[in-house]
Structure formats: structure tokens, C-alpha cells
Structure 1
Amino acid sequence: MFRSENGVSEHRRVANEINTAVAHPARMYDYYLGGKDSYLADRVAVQKVLRVAPEVRLMAWENRRFLGRAVRYLVADAGIRQIIDIGVGLPAAGNVHEVAREIAPETRVVYADNDPMVLAHANALLAGSGPTCAVPADLRKPEEFLDDPTVRELIDFNEPVGLLLVAVLHFLTDGEEPAGIVRTLLAALPVGSFLVVSHATGDLCPEVTAQVATVYDTATSTLTVRSHAEISAFFNGCELVDPGLVRVPVWRPDDKSPKGHTKVWIYGGVGRKI
């Protein structure tokens, strides 16, 4: 799985493709979560963020917990057996295929990301793990992803799919038309499929989020925070599952009284295509 045609390991080739001098959101997110797959530029950027918004580390963890609860809902409650996770980021505890297969081992999962480091780590994690794959894909080109033969081999687009766009749409600018991208992806899925979105918002702490966004201006992807109404629009054509689009710690929490949720400026929700 890791060998290129000339025998050079995928990890070695990927290392040559990574720009370590510029902060990358996936590596920054890994560092927020306490991971070690980051470089000096990433760590410097994270420290700048935490100086103005120390709650961001909590937010990263709450977003990760939301992802796990959403996947459990899809598989255990909604009966979904195939999942597409776009903008997956670096592997961490409670990966989607691991959470899903604790409930239904036959669940098929496609991970997609445009970062070579993410893909190298994902492929290493997935070696021998069953009906799961990681494919290179740019969210800005949804048609190419949908036409990918590996995706088509693993995912049956005649059966309901769980589409995960978790903490990724805020790395698209308005000019890149994220709503249109979501529409294209949803159009390829049958009725009864589910959309999972989490997204940073400027509604709750506008001055702080503006300062955080300036740090990402020098990263490989900028940060575009959006309002509750703008994020809700991604679910057009879907019926939101209770409790709707809310701060991620209070979306079906394991603890009925989550601590620190007022500090979190990420909305999350799950919608069923109708």
C-alpha cells in the first residue's frame, strides 16, 4: 500500500512534498489535540492563536467529541453503513472507522484529504483494516472526488451515505462557494443520507474570532467564520436532527451538563436528506 512504482516508500516521498515553513491547519489541529505531527511553523501559529483565544484547545477537543457522537448516531441510530469523511485531518483517538466498527464492523469508510502528510498517516493506520480507504481529494473539486474509481468501488451511491464535513468548510472562502460544493456532494447521495457539519462562527465572540482568523491568514488555508444562518444554509434539502444546529458540546452530549460549552464558538449539526 505504501510503495510507489519505483520502490520509494510513500512516507519518504510525502516528506519531500510537505512545506514545513508554513503553518497547516491539519497539523495545527493535531497540536491543539496534543499530537506530535507538527512543525515549528505550526506550533508558532498555535501559540499565537492560544494567546488571544486559549479556549481553542478546548474547542478542538469538543469538536472531536462531537464527531464521535455524530458517527455513533449515524451507525447505531440511523443504520448508516457507509461514510465519507472529507477533510479528515491527521489520525487521532476515536477515528471514524474505529467508532463506526465498534457498532457495525461491516461499515465502509472513505477518508479524503488534499494534504499528503494526512494521507500518508491515514494509509498507515488503515493497512489491513477492512473496507476503508484514504484518497487524495480537494474539496473545491467535488466532481473529481465523486468520480474517483476508488470511491466508486467502496461506496454504493444507491444506498444512504453519511457525509462528514467536520471543521473543514470554514477553510473555504466565500469566493470558493462552499454552499455550492455541499449541494454538489449532496446531489450525488440518495434520500435518507446524512450530512454532518461543524463550523467556526463569529456570532459569539466576534473580536476574538477576528484575531484568530488573522493568524490563519499566513497558513496554507485561511479561516472564514460564518453566522448561524450561513451555516444552517449548508443543510438546505436536509431535515436537521434534534437538537438542530448548536454549539458542538451540546449536540446530544454524553454528559447532560457539559462543562465549558459557553466558551466554544463552533456550531455542529446533523441533517437527513429529504
Structure 2
Amino acid sequence: MVDLSVPSAARMYDWLLGGSNNFEVDQDACELLLQAAPTSREVALNNRWFLQRVVRTLAREHGIRQFIDFGSGLPTQRNVHQIAQEANPGARVVYIDNDPVVLALGQSLLDENEDTAILSVDMRDTDAIFAHPDLNRLIDFSEPTAALFISVLHCLPDSSGPEELVRRVVDRLAPGSFVVVCQLVSDDPQVRKDVTDLMLEKTGGNWGRVREKHDVESIFQGLIPQEPGLVDVTDWRPDSELQQRQRSIEWTEYGGLGRVPNPD
């Protein structure tokens, strides 16, 4: 049962991207968010373009054929499997989310694609994820895999251990695998407080907090950062079109791409 009286971060993100899989309660919450952080739409759009660029880079330049998208959110134009399979028709993608709307819409889009699956699992439950038959049908963990945590870890409170979650996943990946992480950060403590308070109230506590850059940097400990390192995702290998886009001001998505090293 979907509680349509409570906004969800996934549906709010969909609205900011110009999607239609959202409800009035999500739209109202977004209007309040735009008051607290007026360039939130730019943050969402820049993040979506980053996802497309980084997946294309992983598939084309690094030959990655396996992707696991943690907290994947609502399907929109140019999803991970579409980009990866354009570059490599045999690419396999597993989406993970426990939002009922995400699952319903995602499953309807993926039913005809045998190289994709969507798992109804809380992304924090790594034991259930890695034991899931659909994951093990599609992902060979003896080969390099890309694990994506794109604009999702800020939805987890500190008590859920976002850094530890990424570490548990990394420990399951073969050397030469890649991890993509970005999350919402701000240098302004008032923005961090205002947006965090707003999202906690509106989502009924289904939120973590807006963090700082050092919080993201700590997640990459033990990984080998790939060029250009950890940056505002707008600056992660931008193309000419993105260079013309408006930047966010109050907050940003910060992160990058890391490689799982070979064992010593």
C-alpha cells in the first residue's frame, strides 16, 4: 500500500526532473524545497546527466558489463540499462529499491528485458540483496561489476551507516570493479539544517541529512579515485551541452568514481 499523503524523495526527484510519476503531495513538498534551496532543480538535472556520463564511461572505456544500482529511484528517460546496453548489448543491470511506486513502474518497463531485474529489497539489507536469485542470475561476482550509489546515501540517517553499507558492498566485489558515489552536500550550515529538517518532516523521517564533502571523501577510503577525482558532479567529465547548464548554488551533488584495488 502506497501512502499518498506522505511525499517520497524518489517522487520528488522525478518531479524536479520534469517527470509525471509523482503526486500533488510531492509537488507541494518540492515547492517548499525550492524555497529553501532555489537551485534544487539544477541539482537534480546535473545529477541525472552525471549518471548517464559515468555509466557510459564505465561501459565504453572500462568494459564493465554488470551494474547494480542501489536505491535506483523511479525510471525516467535514459536509464542505466539503456545506456549500458547501447555501449555493450550484453550488459546486465540490477536495480534495487523498496519504494512500491518505483517497483511497480520499474517492473513494467523491465519485463521484456531479460538482462535487467529490479529487486524489492531495502538497499541496507546487503545479505538479502546478495542472496537474491535474480541478482545471482545476472551478476557474476568473479568479474568486475559497477555498484552505483547515486544521489541516495543522503536519504540514510547516520544510524544506518551509509559508509559501512558501501564497505559491505565493496567487500563482495571483484578487484577491478568500480563504485560510483555522489550525495547532496552543502558548505552552508543553514542550508544543511533547513533542507534536512524539511525533508525529515515531509517524508515522515525517511531521510538522512545533507552532509559535507568530507563525509563523501571518507566513503572513498580504500578505493582508487578515477579522474577527475571527487568533484561537484557537474564537473565530472562534462560535455559541451552540460557546460552550458546552470549550476546549483546552495547545495550540490558531490562525488565521483572509485576502483576496487587488487589485493596486496
Report the counterpart of residue 207 of structure 1 in structure 2: 190
Per the TM alignment, residue 262 of structure 1 is displaced from its structure 2 partner at its CA by 5.4
CA displacement, residues 36-77 of structure 1 (integer Å, 9 cap, x when unaligned): 111222111111001121200011000000000010111001
CA distance in 2, matches of 1:251, 1:152: 31
1:228 aligns with 2:213: yes
8 A Cα contact 1:241 1:271, kept in partner = yes
CA displacement, residues 212-271 of structure 1 (integer Å, 9 cap, x when unaligned): 222111204124122212101111221011111100100000128454335251102000
Corresponding residue to 1:269 among 253, 256, 262: 256
Task: Give the match's secondary structure for 1:163.
Answer: strand
1:161 aligns with 2:145: yes
Runs of 4+ in structure 1 off by over 6 angstroms are: none
8 A Cα contact 1:112 1:137, kept in partner = yes
Identical aligned pairs, as a percentage? 39
CA distance in 2, matches of 1:50, 1:228: 22
CA distance in 1, matches of 2:195, 2:211: 14
Name the TM-score, length of structure 1 as normaliser. 0.90
Corresponding residue to 2:31 among 47, 54, 60: 47
Corresponding residue to 1:128 among 103, 112, 116: 112
CA distance in 1, matches of 2:207, 2:101: 19
Task: Give the match's secondary structure for 1:70.
Answer: helix
Report the counterpart of residue 234 of structure 2 in structure 1: 249
CA distance in 2, matches of 1:258, 1:157: 39
Per the TM alignment, residue 208 of structure 1 is displaced from its structure 2 partner at its CA by 2.3
Name the TM-score, length of structure 2 as normaliser. 0.94
Which stretches in structure 1 are left out of the alignment for 5+ residues? 1-16
CA distance in 2, matches of 1:25, 1:262: 19
Q: Which amino acid aligns with 2:225?
A: L
Map of 1:143-158 to 2, 5 A cutoff? 143-158=127-142
Task: Give the match's secondary structure for 2:64.
Answer: coil
1:59 aligns with 2:46: no
Per the TM alignment, residue 84 of structure 1 is displaced from its structure 2 partner at its CA by 0.3
CA distance in 1, matches of 2:94, 2:168: 17
Which stretches in structure 2 are left out of the alignment for 5+ residues? none
- For the structure 1 residues 234 and 258, does the alpha-carbon distance in structure 2 shift closer, same or farther, using more than 3 Å as the test? farther
8 A Cα contact 1:249 1:258, kept in partner = no
